[in-house]
Amino acid sequence: MKKMLFLLFLMPMTTLAQHTLTLKITNVKNTNGEIRAAIYDNSEDFLKFDKVFKAAAEDASKGTTTLTFKNVPVGTYAIAVFHDENSNEKLDTNFVGYPKEALGFSIGKMKTFGPPSFQECAFKLDADKELTIEIK
């Protein structure tokens, strides 16, 4: 009985656990603008700029730029990152919609005819984590 009460007491604490997610963005070509990252928590909202779960930006550092998200709950997430070289806070594209600024994703990679899906980029966060994302 005591074990069961202890587990019931501990269960809400584990579901509310908050973690730190550190992103190491590599292949940053210059120091122009910022590196912007968006975390998505479901497939319906993936890559919709008005449906981001958490977002951050950091001045671009040539080579590697680090972004840190604190207090991220346990869950499944996908990340999109881009180098906003002109600091206009949006991913610039050409006339057919292909990105003109370097971008990258957690796990998944850009396809010939579009971005990867949420499922292709998804990862489980259940402890502090560091991800390396190469932008191209």
Contacts of 68 (CB under 8 A, 6+ apart): 20, 21, 22, 23, 56
Q: What is the Cα–Cα distance from 129 to 107, expressed in whole angstroms?
A: 14
Residue spans per domain, the chain: 17-134
pLDDT, one tens digit per residue, over 99-114 is 999 999 999 888 888 8
pTM of the model as a whole: 0.86
Encoded tokens for 96: 């057919």
Per CATH, domain 17-134 is 2.60.40: yes
pLDDT, one tens digit per residue, over 58-110 is 999 999 999 999 999 999 999 999 999 999 999 999 998 889 999 999 998 88
